[in-house]
Amino acid sequence: MTDKFKTKSSQALTTEYRPLELEKEIRQFWEQNKTQQAVASLKEKNNTGIVGFVEGPPTLNGIPHVGHARGRLMKDLRYRWKTMQGYYMPFWAGWDCQGLPVELEVEKLLGVKNKRELLERVGEERFIQECKKAIMKYHKEWVRLDTLLGVSIDHEKAYWTYHDSYIEREWQYLKHAWEQGLLEEGHYVVAYCPGCQTSLSSAEAGYEDSYKMVEDPSLFFKFKVTGSKNEYFLVWTTMPFTLITDTMLAVHPQAEYAKVKVKGEMWILAKPRVEPVMQELGMKDYAIVETILGSKLDGVRYDFPFKDIVPKQAELEAKHDLVHRVILEDFVDVDTATGVVHQSPGNGEEDFFAAQKRGIPIFAPLDDEVRFTIDAGFFSGLFARDADAKVVEELRSRGLLVEVKTVKHEYPTCWRSHHKLVWMARKEYFLKTDKIGSKVLEAAEKVKYFYESPKNRFLAFLREGKPWCISRERVWGAPLPIWKCESCGAKTFVSSKVELIEKALEKPGEDFELHKPWIDRIKLRCPDCGETMRREDFVLDCWHDAGASPYARYTDQEFSEYVPVDFLTEGIDQTRGWANSLLLEHVILTGKPEAPYKAFLFQGLAQDAKGRKMSKSLGNVVEANKLLEKYSADVCRFYMLRKCSPVDFMDFDFNELSRRPYQVLSTLYHLSRFLLQNAEFDGFNPKKHTLQWAMHEGLLKKADFWLMSRLQETIEAYTEKLDTCEFNVALANLEDYVIETVSRLYVPMVRKELWTDDPETLNRRLAVYTTLWYVLKTLTLLFNPVTPYICEALHRKVYRKLDPTLPETINLEDWPKPDKKLRSKKVEDEFKTLFESVSLVYASRQSAKLKRRWPLSRIVIVADERVCKILKDVEELFLELTNVKTAEFSQKAPPYVQEEGWVPTTEGSMQVYLDVHRDEKLLGEGLMRDLARRVQALRKELGYMPTDVLNAVYVAELDDESTSFLKPYLSIMAELVRAKIVQLHNSREEMKAEWHETQMDEKKVYVAIA
Ligand SMILES: [Zn+2]
Ligand SMILES: [Zn+2]
């Protein structure tokens, strides 16, 4: 045994692929050598171009899960790939630190139930400190995720949305909006969360995730036509409390309405709804008496029933003639409910517009906690949804209740606290993005989205084009920098900290920062009337913080160099989130129909193995750091990218990790290790034994050319698919090449050549190493963006070991480009034909029950001229692969194959005839191969390197006939199993050795090696 060789190589690579150990070692190497920084600074100085990037900042309010890990590694893949292509990409981290998500998390930690309690018990100043503490806690978890997963993002250059410097630059977006008249204060109906006590943007209210099944009343009631004897409008609602703020009834002007006689009364409702509604109400006795067009109902007055208990409503009616009358509106849907819609401008968006259009005042008697104010009379003090029952009761006592049941339906709830949202009119600040809608759409249409469905979804959302409510009645956020005069109402927009301190009536202290409560203490002098101005008490929607990142995270110089960035990727939920706010803010800032990103990949979200959403309540959330403590980062990375298309929802299944993904990486590992061991043994020098050398010396065979040709195809297809973000397809290509082409087909074709240490054939062996060096090294480069740990390890321990002039880290290597000179379609076609015919021979052997290891004497292939010619050209390889001594290729079956002893097999237009007769020689050789296979398995089992030479192999207790068959083949067998000698013994007793029992055709045989 060559001991020297054994110790040398085992230090470098372990016998088994043990990724957790290997990754730990590589992680240390990266940390000690500051590899990430070194690569970045080299590329910054010396690159072929710049690829811009802005980090979509994770909110620091929770622990990262496996879905986050998937998103981060798609970014890392892009970074590593582009870096190897020679680009410089500012892959810098960023953190979303402020806003409702963080506040609610901290409220939970502090055990506070709502905002009022928060302000009374904790106070703003301490609350802000607690928020800062909380984000630092979660920050650690995210950094750990990147470290374990091998995400090469720069944390030292991270941006933090709560830093004054960031907020100041964020204000520049608002300044542009302010100057263009796009930032306005106004009353508007907003989605409001009673739990969080703040309004939400329409994007937030529309999150798919926020729709939950809830139970609500299903109420049919009637409003009497004023002055009639017994005519009523029949109306339906699921929100009885909105009757308190009702001011109009709407009908569709072009729809037909019916007067229906029921129980001596006349009910008015949309004609197509008569039958279904009556059925639902269980009314059998009814008749349509009259049909009228909706437009004829215009201006009809009705008796609002609660004028006595809500005196403000009586006041409104007296002051405004249109209050409590029928109006005509196209938005009325006559295919649902009764086609008569009651309007509460204080609690509904369409209702609000309908009232505004007609100059009807908005009646919105609700406070910050969504309780009715004193203006709601009898209902004052009640929480809106708690008033539902009271309203029903009042209707009943007035004889206006028709029916009340409950209905289960999907209703939007708060995406953070899950309270049912309430729509109510409030004073807020809006970015009037509806005014720049066409520019926004134009910008969005120029972006590349890679997949149709998320693109359509994003554009459809943008087409809604609603104004963006950016004010929040909360504490921990970027403050709205608008001061308003207490006396004359004049407003001042402040755009920097310096400007603010300069204008302040009283200079702030040392601890001043751009947050509540400090900023609220600053008062300004009104330039118009000289009175005091106070800040408008709002903070900004945190989506505005994140959307400001392209400008706020960079300097002016960097902004002009990097933005619009080349590529961004985030979860599909960000169509309404970050992708949207980035786009709107950029159009406002630049005034141009341009997005801050040229391409955006929306990823599907992560689910559990059964395809269920991951949620705390189901207990099926996979925490990323816990996962990566137990499982290899490379295996996880490969799995998550290979498993499905990036837009698909990924069903994460632990069981799948250790199967195919592990197998692929393990194969890559062992192929490189196989090369290293053999190459070192034979003194391979990649500087000297180049492809050029091998070609010049005529040492390459067809199989080598075929392998390299297939590699060119793989490089091309793989790179192309990375470019179109079909990561799963890209990796399927790579996987197929490693497993099928290299490992299953090529290596068996050359293994026998490498078996010997005959100096006569040394050059041929070196030529095989040259081929393998080129192919496997290229593969390692292609794998690097996906599985960086194993690739760095192979780079250092195999390729750099054989060629010390290679760079310190694989990340400084160049991305492989396909070499046209090595591509040969002809050779690929030939090999395709070869493998097809070989597999037909295998099928034929199987039906004749002849193992592939057993040599056969003759074979006849009947096929067309083209196939025959190809097979003749690669005859040597064909015989080797099929393990047959001679072959005949013919277009017609020769007569002798009709004789006994020939087995025919047909597939398509090809036939195989196998001569199944085996003489002593063939039997002996077959037996030898069976035995050799057992010795190989034993070598592996006992931990011998493939290159180790054994002193001896002993075989005992073969029967006499087998012994005589085998004897002529002992020296061939010795060569095959890399042993100096093979000895046969009659009995185990003859020699003391560690015998291993094995079965040979149901007989026991014993083998020992030394
Ligand atoms: Zn909420
Ligand atoms: Zn003033």
DSSP 220-250: EEEEEBTT-SSEEEEEEES-GGGGGG--EEE
Tens of pLDDT, residues 873-887 = 999 999 999 999 999
CA of 677 to the centre of ligand 1 (A): 63
Contact 287, 259 (CB under 8 A): no
pLDDT of res. 4 = 30
Average pLDDT over residues 795-824: 97
CA of 547 to the centre of ligand 1 (A): 21
| Ligand minimally distant from the alpha carbon of residue 192 | 1
pLDDT of res. 75 = 98
Residue 361, pLDDT above cutoff 90: no
CA of 432 to the centre of ligand 1 (A): 24
Tens of pLDDT, residues 370-395 = 999 999 999 999 999 999 999 999 99
Dihedral of the CA atoms 611, 617, 618, 619 (nearest 10)?
110
Residue type, 390: K
pLDDT of res. 633 = 98
CA of 183 to the centre of ligand 2 (A): 20
CA of 245 to the centre of ligand 1 (A): 23
CA of 193 to the centre of ligand 1 (A): 5
pLDDT of res. 822 = 97
CA of 382 to the centre of ligand 1 (A): 19
| Ligand minimally distant from the alpha carbon of residue 527 | 2
Average pLDDT over residues 955-960: 92
- Confidence tier at 104 by pLDDT (50, 70, 90): confident
CA of 182 to the centre of ligand 2 (A): 22
Contact 688, 762 (CB under 8 A): no
Strands 341-343 and 248-251: antiparallel
Token digits of residue 296: 């004829």
pLDDT of res. 137 = 96
Contact 425, 375 (CB under 8 A): no
133: phi then psi, degrees, rounded to nearest 5 = -65, -45
pLDDT of res. 11 = 46
CA of 110 to the centre of ligand 1 (A): 17
CB burial of 829-860 (b: ≥16 within 10 Å; e: otherwise) equals: ebbebbeebbebbeebbeeeebeeebbbebbb
Is the link from the previous residue into 564 a cis peptide, with omega within 30 of 0? yes
CA of 429 to the centre of ligand 2 (A): 20
Q: What is the distance, to the nearest Å, from the Cα of residue 625 to the centroid of all Cα atoms in its chain?
A: 17
Token digits of residue 800: 């750099």
- Confidence tier at 732 by pLDDT (50, 70, 90): very high
Residue 10, pLDDT above cutoff 60: no
CA of 754 to the centre of ligand 2 (A): 92
Contact 153, 146 (CB under 8 A): yes
**DSSP H or E segment with residue 655:** helix 654-657
Which of 127 and 948 is assigned the larger pLDDT?
Answer: 127
CA of 55 to the centre of ligand 1 (A): 27
CA of 536 to the centre of ligand 2 (A): 14
CA of 390 to the centre of ligand 2 (A): 45
Instruction: Name the burial class of residue 219, with classes exposed (0-12), middle (13-18) and buried (19+) by CB atoms within 10 angstroms of its CB.
Output: buried
pLDDT of res. 466 = 82
Query: Residues 109, 113, 114, CA angle at the centre, nearest 5°?
Result: 115
CA of 149 to the centre of ligand 1 (A): 33
Is the link from the previous residue into 517 a cis peptide, with omega within 30 of 0? yes
Helix (H, G, I), strand (E, B) or coil at 568: strand
CA of 459 to the centre of ligand 2 (A): 43
Q: Report the distance separating Cα 787 and Cα 792, nearest Å.
A: 9
pLDDT of res. 947 = 75
Tens of pLDDT, residues 34-61 = 999 999 999 999 999 999 999 999 999 9
| Location of structure tokens 């034994």 | 689
Query: Residues 330, 334, 338, CA angle at the centre, nearest 5°?
Result: 125
CA of 240 to the centre of ligand 1 (A): 22
CA of 488 to the centre of ligand 2 (A): 4
- Confidence tier at 757 by pLDDT (50, 70, 90): confident
CA of 503 to the centre of ligand 2 (A): 15
CB burial of 35-68 (b: ≥16 within 10 Å; e: otherwise) equals: bbeebbeebeeebeebbbbbbbbbbbbbbbbbbb
Candidate from 190-204, 288-302, 374-388, 599-613 with smallest mean pLDDT: 190-204
CA of 491 to the centre of ligand 2 (A): 8
Candidate from 101-115, 440-454, 534-548, 654-668 with smallest mean pLDDT: 101-115
CA of 496 to the centre of ligand 2 (A): 22
Q: Report the distance separating Cα 211 and Cα 411, nearest Å.
A: 5
CA of 194 to the centre of ligand 1 (A): 7
- Confidence tier at 353 by pLDDT (50, 70, 90): confident
pLDDT of res. 3 = 37
Q: Residues near 785 by Cβ (< 8 Å), separated by ≥ 6? A: 76, 77, 78, 79, 80, 81, 84, 722
CA of 178 to the centre of ligand 2 (A): 19
Candidate from 3-17, 71-85, 272-286, 991-1005 with smallest mean pLDDT: 3-17
Candidate from 69-73, 125-129, 850-854 with smallest mean pLDDT: 850-854
pLDDT of res. 978 = 87
Tens of pLDDT, residues 907-931 = 988 999 999 999 999 999 999 999 9
Q: Report the distance separating Cα 662 and Cα 656, nearest Å.
A: 9
pLDDT of res. 5 = 35
Residue 411, pLDDT above cutoff 50: yes
Average pLDDT over residues 243-271: 96
CA of 524 to the centre of ligand 2 (A): 10
CA of 100 to the centre of ligand 1 (A): 8
Residue 680, pLDDT above cutoff 80: yes
Contact 797, 714 (CB under 8 A): no
User: For a pLDDT cut of 90, what percent of the chain falls above it?
Assistant: 83
Residue 203, pLDDT above cutoff 80: no
Q: What is the distance, to the nearest Å, from the Cα of residue 66 to the centroid of all Cα atoms in its chain?
A: 10
Residue 161, pLDDT above cutoff 70: yes
Average pLDDT over residues 95-116: 89
CA of 533 to the centre of ligand 2 (A): 7
| Average pLDDT, rounded, for the chain | 93
Average pLDDT over residues 579-587: 98
CA of 538 to the centre of ligand 2 (A): 20
CA of 276 to the centre of ligand 2 (A): 60
Contact 479, 513 (CB under 8 A): no
pLDDT of res. 248 = 97
| Ligand minimally distant from the alpha carbon of residue 420 | 1
Residue 762, pLDDT above cutoff 80: yes
User: Sign of the CA dihedral 170, 172, 178, 180?
Assistant: negative
User: For a pLDDT cut of 70, what percent of the chain falls above it?
Assistant: 99
Distances (CA, A) of 291 to 269, 276, 439, 882: 10, 17, 47, 88
